Structure 1
Amino acid sequence: MGSTTGPRGARVELSGWGWRHSGRTAHALRGVDLTVEPGERILLLGASGAGKSTLLHALAGLTGPDGAIAGDQEGTLLVDGAPADRRRGAVGLVGQDPETQLVMARAGDDVAFGPENLGVAPELIWPRVDAALAAVGFPYGRSHPTGALSGGEKQRLALAGALAMRPRLLLLDEPTANLDPEGAAHVRGVLSTLLMETEATLVLVEHRVADVVDLVDRVVVLEPGGGVAADGPPGPVFTEHGAALAAQGVWIPGADPAPAVPVAPGGPVLAEAAGVAARTPREPGVRAAPPRTVLSDVDLAVAAGTATALTGPNGAGKSTLLMMLAGLTRPHRGVVLPRGPLAGADRRPLCRWPARRLARHVGTVFQHAEDQFVTGTVRDELLFAPLRAGAARAEAEGWVGELLERLRLTALADMHPYTLSGGEKRRLSVATALSSGPLHAPDVLVLDEPTFGQDTRTWRELVELLGALRAEGRAVVMATHDEPLLRSLADVRVRVAGGRTEACGDGTERAGPRPERDGG
């Protein structure tokens, strides 16, 4: 793919380094002593909330006196002998949420943004842009609107933007988390080629440890609120510390969690999509591309007491279909109707239900967690739905307290939701959909990537909570690329590809021609 980074990697030195976020009493990290030599490839591990993303942000120069993230710093953090906030041009960061990294309306302009700000000669910028887009397998041209991309496509675009800057220090925070299996494998191949062709230093955070362990030559494990708990080549680290790390929630190759999930009871159909089609919004401007069809003639039935999983490639329309099933998006054509017991509440299409009624019967977890936060603290966020629905405060507080404990959010109860890490935000977003308690939970739960960014302990709790609601007769519908989640919870897998769906009731995916009506 050609060289996409500079001729040599950066050197990183941390001595007694610590960081405390503004408004927090506890340090995210403290006493970190770490040296990374030029060209080293580091896999950064730790339990959810251990400070992995915080460390990446610090290496990218986003903390410190002149940084964008407010807080208190101690110790020293140097990149090539200078404070990190003075070396930003040498560093490329792809964060957990690519949505926050896209700054331009068109894909090519977004990738060009970094090189332009680094003063790259204009005649060199567009060859860099094209090479970076091709390297990550971006499926559209330069002019494609960034607002029309799926989460996985935005992740690819953000990675292309980092590669086009040709950084000497590349920082990647869950770079394949929202990608389909084929896309994740492609990105790993890109990174492997990149690391062979250049001497760029890599610091990688990734929960799919088994998939990336061959890319790195060193594993560094962070202690929550502390420093480095383990450091060395992958084999010795996993051999010597594997059991202890697994107990802390770190994903260890060959040690996937085994949640206790009751058998799915099944039940009547609660919602049905019939002949549903969806199109992209019309873009402004006389030269804007016309709307394109995302989904066409989709039929899908969602039954009580089952978990339905939407799988398939990025950009196929999984999130779009979820939002229509949740009643939050009106189909371009076709209809999503309540069925069975759900029709007893309102027989109109779900998209025509009043907001309060829809929220009572259909709980939704968005792809971007921040889209659903409406209060100023974690605790108030969880109390909002049950109190609004008329639950007694004592009952609501009891269940919310249990959720906080099970999902390891108790210490964050008084924090603003926007200040949480990516994994913590995801846990909170799922918890809000469950906050009415087992007896008052919505009839249908619609979740977009519900296990993103979780360590093994919180992953297990989330799966067991969803399994318990399924056992009580709720319908669970989720879009996910998480294979352990699919194995543990999915009763029906619906593959979304090419604007169509195909489903099987035996939990497997079936290839081949699409039947006349499927998903029932």
Structure 2
Amino acid sequence: MRGLDLRIEPGERVLLLGASGAGKSTLLQGLAGVLGGAEEGESEGELLLDDVPAEAARGRAGLLLQDPDAQVILARVGDDIAFGCENLGIPHDEIWPRVHAAREAVGLDVPLDRATKELSGGQKQRMALAGVLAMRPGLILLDEPTANLDPHGVAEVRAAVGGLLDAHPATLVVVEHRVEVWLPLVTRVIVLGAGDEGVIADGTPDEVLGAQRARLTDAGVWVPASPPPHPAPPASAPGDVLLRARDLAVQRVAGTPVASGIDADVRAGAALAITGPNGAGKSTLGLTLAGLIAPASGLLEASDALAAGAGPAPIRWRSRQLLTRIGTVFQDPEHQLLERTVRAELEVGPRALGQDAAARDAVVDELLARLRLDHLAAANPYTLSGGEKRRLTVAAALATAPRVLILDEPTFGQDARTWGEMVALLARLRDEGSAIVTITHDADVVRALHAARVEIRGATR
């Protein structure tokens, strides 16, 4: 971003909006003083916290990052929550009551000695927020704090933040695409434009979301009661079963199933939504269906039409055999970035299939345009915003036109415009005969894709 003029007063509760890639996360990191300095980027003007440069006021702000994995520091949950307090020099006897209170406030129902590597993405999000709340900072900066949470978790997190602000008054700046979550708590809405547009709207929630509804909708901002259009229903009935699961149990650690008793059919020309609370095993099920984790027990079988001679067990397929059969988009986009530019990232799959340059270019150019990444074709994937990385990994999976596409939280970080475009692209792939499996807390995606639903509740005892 460039040319931003903005003042936030002590105690204000601000909802920061803007299209995907507008610079919201960058602004939060700047306010927290953690952008890295001149050796990691460029800056001009001034960014002050309590009238001193933000990088000189570290500890005054608590930042929840967009990617919860990037904020996990220590091996055990309790130690991780306590880390910020320890760095602020808070007395030991005061730290652990804060840790217990923060964990309870955000609804993180795991022991303090649980290994952080065993947590789901949503549980890591709650843990990171608990660490911020335990610090009791003067400025709370939250970057999409509810993006990976189930509906119950969303309510718990908002209540936890509200309770902290009531007990320990602070300034709040929260970035969230789904604005209705935070409207009961915030007093001001600021909307950022793209590039050097600066602030394009600023005022009370009613002033901004009411009087400027049309302008914000055009800019891709999620406006309550103005959802993006949904694609048309499927043109035909679901086709043959491509993947079949019966009494399936899934695990990441041998001997410790996280979900069991799962029956599901993945059908050609249809969408299947895997839903359920955080930590229930949804992502583990997705990776198992994708042939990347072996089932703990039960049956997982590919049809002859999908296997095409590769055998019925996807876990036994080689990577090249998976390429056109089952594509996967991980929950964390950075776990599957391989190349130095966005264009090269999209060429990985087509190159592996041996496509010639003209065929590759046709596929890549269409995906760049459809997912609004064409202006970033030469950029390093790691410099993209969270929403842009998500669109890139979805596009990379689409580039090989797999018969089955498995996506873990595909709409994370999307503004209303890019959400609509991504869902339309998935619907088109479905109508062309592919199977779509989406792991999601986004009920709008389930409705938009007319998806069947499998609810995961964890392992049966």
User: The TM-score by the shorter chain falls in which range?
Assistant: over 0.9
Fraction of identical pairs, as percent: 53
Select between 77-86 and 297-306 the one with higher mean Cα deviation.
297-306
CA shift at 1:374, angstroms? 1.2
Partner SS, residue 76 of structure 1 = coil
Structure 1 residue identity aligned to 2:276? G
1:465 aligned to which of 425, 439, 444: 425
CA shift at 1:198, angstroms? 2.5
- Aligned: 1:479 with 2:449: no
CA shift at 1:211, angstroms? 1.9
- Aligned: 1:433 with 2:397: yes
Aligned to 1:453: 413
Structure 2 residue identity aligned to 1:35? R
1:417 aligned to which of 351, 363, 381: 381
- Aligned: 1:72 with 2:62: no
Aligned to 2:321: 357
- Aligned: 1:488 with 2:459: no
Aligned to 1:184: 154
CA shift at 1:191, angstroms? 1.7
Structure 2 residue identity aligned to 1:248? A
1:316 aligned to which of 270, 273, 280: 280
CA shift at 1:262, angstroms? 4.7
Write the distance in 2 (CA, Å) between the matches of 1:499 and 1:475.
Answer: 26
Write the distance in 1 (CA, Å) between the matches of 2:253 and 2:191.
Answer: 44
CA shift at 1:490, angstroms? 3.4
Aligned to 2:290: 326
Equivalent pair of 1:309/1:490 in contact (CA under 8 Å):
no
Structure 2 residue identity aligned to 1:89? G
Equivalent pair of 1:293/1:499 in contact (CA under 8 Å):
yes
Runs in 1 of length 4+ with deviation above 6 angstroms? none
Deviations 1:431-487 (A, max 9, x none): 011113xxxx11100000001100111111110110011001100001001121111
Structure 2 residue identity aligned to 1:240? A
Equivalent pair of 2:342/2:381 in contact (CA under 8 Å):
yes
Aligned to 1:249: 220
Partner SS, residue 320 of structure 2 = helix
Structure 2 residue identity aligned to 1:314? N
Larger RCO: 1 or 2 (CA < 8 Å, sep 6+): 2
CA shift at 1:64, angstroms? 5.9
Partner SS, residue 74 of structure 1 = coil
Structure 2 segments unaligned to the other structure (5+ residues): none
Alignment of 1:251-290 (within 5 A): 251-265=222-236, 266-281=238-253
Equivalent pair of 1:399/1:435 in contact (CA under 8 Å):
yes
Equivalent pair of 1:261/1:468 in contact (CA under 8 Å):
no
Deviations 1:300-337 (A, max 9, x none): 21111110001110000000000000000011222321
Partner SS, residue 47 of structure 2 = strand
Equivalent pair of 1:38/1:199 in contact (CA under 8 Å):
no
- Aligned: 1:117 with 2:81: no
Partner SS, residue 260 of structure 1 = coil
CA shift at 1:275, angstroms? 2.7
Aligned to 1:169: 139
Normalising by structure 2, what TM-score? 0.97
2:361 aligned to which of 397, 400, 410: 397
Deviations 1:41-61 (A, max 9, x none): 000011111110010010010
Write the distance in 1 (CA, Å) between the matches of 2:21 and 2:309.
Answer: 41
Structure 2 residue identity aligned to 1:386? P
- Aligned: 1:135 with 2:102: no
Equivalent pair of 1:268/1:340 in contact (CA under 8 Å):
no
Equivalent pair of 1:96/1:173 in contact (CA under 8 Å):
yes
Equivalent pair of 2:274/2:455 in contact (CA under 8 Å):
yes
Equivalent pair of 2:233/2:450 in contact (CA under 8 Å):
no
Paired residues, number: 459
Partner SS, residue 160 of structure 1 = helix
Write the distance in 1 (CA, Å) between the matches of 2:296 and 2:305.
Answer: 26
Structure 1 residue identity aligned to 2:220? G
2:168 aligned to which of 184, 198, 205: 198
Structure 1 residue identity aligned to 2:336? Q
Deviations 1:341-377 (A, max 9, x none): 1132322310001111012210000001111111111
Equivalent pair of 2:329/2:408 in contact (CA under 8 Å):
yes
CA shift at 1:499, angstroms? 2.4
Partner SS, residue 202 of structure 2 = strand
Deviations 1:403-456 (A, max 9, x none): 1111111111111111111000000010011113xxxx1110000000110011
Equivalent pair of 1:336/1:351 in contact (CA under 8 Å):
no
Alignment of 1:372-383 (within 5 A): 372-383=336-347
Equivalent pair of 1:179/1:481 in contact (CA under 8 Å):
yes
Structure 2 residue identity aligned to 1:462? M
Structure 1 segments unaligned to the other structure (5+ residues): 1-28, 283-290, 501-520
CA shift at 1:280, angstroms? 4.5
Write the distance in 1 (CA, Å) between the matches of 2:175 and 2:41.
Answer: 22
Write the distance in 2 (CA, Å) between the matches of 1:100 and 1:64.
Answer: 15
Instruction: Check 1:490–1:314 CA distance in 2 against 1; reply closer, same or farther (3 A cut).
Output: farther
